[in-house]
Amino acid sequence: MSPELRDTLTEALQQVQGFIYPNELNLVWSVVIVVYPYLTGLVAGAFIMASLVRVFHVKALGPIYRLSLLTALAFLLIAPLPLLTHLGHPERCLEIMMTPHLTSPMAIFGFVYAWYLMAVLLLELWFDYRRDFVVWSRTEKGWKGLLYRCLTLGVMDVSDPALRLDHRMGNIITVVGIPSAFLLHGYVGFIFGSIKANPWWGTVLMPIIFIFSAMVSGIALVLFMYLCVSSFRKVPLNRPCLETIGQFLFYALVLDASLETLDWVHRLYEAEESIGVLVLLASGKLFYTFILVQVFLGTVVPLVLLGAMQVWKDRPNEHVRRDLYFLSSILVMIGIFAMRWNVVIGGQLFSKSLRGFTTYKLELIGQEGLFMSVALLALPFIILSVMLKLFLPPSHMSPPDPPPGE
């Protein structure tokens, strides 16, 4: 063995505990793959919030209806980027859609994504906004007027029957959109859950856990955005709306935490061959991100805060409650990010020989580094702020009023 190779080997062995298969030394799915399910989860969750208003007639959530839809769109537009930055050959990415291998859950991604973007979100937003586009295209001048005119797609009819059709179409699309949102994120969970080679991932609960964690993170994001937008625009908060979001966040978090607990109870009770290495993983390599961030900061603390606010409806005062909701939303979003981290990175830290661990070194710069991930997480917020400027004047926070006759 050459001295150079020997040095490399010595260095490599330092990042290994126990025995791993030699090819497992480097993690092939990096932090950008953590960002990907995080983003799609936020999309699905935000859409569910909008559907609560439209389909389930939760009137109190009216003020965040359009905000939720725009949030979902901004995040969905960026969702495939982490995958692209990760691919060894991004220039071949369209092969997934042109020549899909239909037994692969990953091949279905292109179709689920396209369906959700084209058939659900864009269509729904278009029907919701068509009347506004027509009105704005007449009132606005310059490039904004031109933009709104283009967005009408030439349909300038704002008669009552046309608006009734818009409204009905919006309802139909939302009804179709709810299972689609579940499909979008459930499918991401299935990508992990279907890998029988990896006991940390390969559980039937994985898609369900992903769906509920998506709802939790999406609701938290909408809550966060609502508080930010209101504060930034100096618009008074709608108290019932805030309290209702808080309520839904609490219920979703209870369900999500229960499912995750069930997963662990099931694993510990069955105590299969892999349980030893998984317990070591959770309590060792993932101690900070799992026990501390995901379980304690991201679940227990917000559960206590949100739970307490459900019990005491009038105390503390409004300002403190707002701050506590703000804090809870941030904690929950961090907690769900930690959950994605623990799934994606955690699942690669232990060897499939179940005899040892490797180490993940997070790069700072580079295609799959920390800065890239931060950029990918910041980008949807930038897009969203532009969208809010263009499409969400303070008077348009509520859903479009049903036209006469509906």
Residues that bind other proteins (CB under 8 A): 1, 5, 8-9, 12-13, 19-26, 28-29, 83, 86-90, 92-93, 95-96, 99-101, 103-107, 109, 191, 195-198, 201, 347-348, 351-355
- The distance of closest approach from Cβ of residue 280 to other proteins in the complex, given in angstroms and rounded to an integer, is 15
CB of 192: closest distance to other proteins in angstroms?
Answer: 9
Q: How far is the CB of 281 from other proteins (least distance, A)?
A: 16
- Mention every residue, 6+ apart, whose C-beta is less than 8 A from residue 260: 209, 299, 339
Shortest distance, position 350 Cβ to other proteins, whole Å: 12
Instruction: Report the SS3 class of residue 158.
Output: coil
User: Which positions ≥6 away from 151 have C-beta within 8 Å?
Assistant: 126, 129, 133, 137
Tokens 């459930």 map to which residue? 186
Nearer to other proteins, 113 or 133 (CB): 113
Residue 20 or 397 with smaller CB distance to other proteins = 20
Specify the residue, 177 or 193, whose C-beta has the smaller distance to other proteins: 193
Judge whether 208 and 259 are in contact, CB under 8 Å.
Answer: yes
Of the chain, the end-to-end C-alpha distance in Å amounts to 80
Nearer to other proteins, 9 or 292 (CB): 9
Q: How far apart are CA 128 and CA 380, in angstroms?
A: 21
- To other proteins, the closest distance from the beta carbon of 103 in angstroms equals 5
**168 vs 355, beta carbon nearer other proteins:** 355
CA angle 95, 96, 98 (to 5 degrees): 55
The Cα 13–Cα 20 span in angstroms is: 10
From CA 210, how far away is CA 163, in angstroms rounded? 37
- Residue 121 vs 191, nearer CB to other proteins: 191
Closest approach, Cβ 105 to other proteins, in A, equals 8
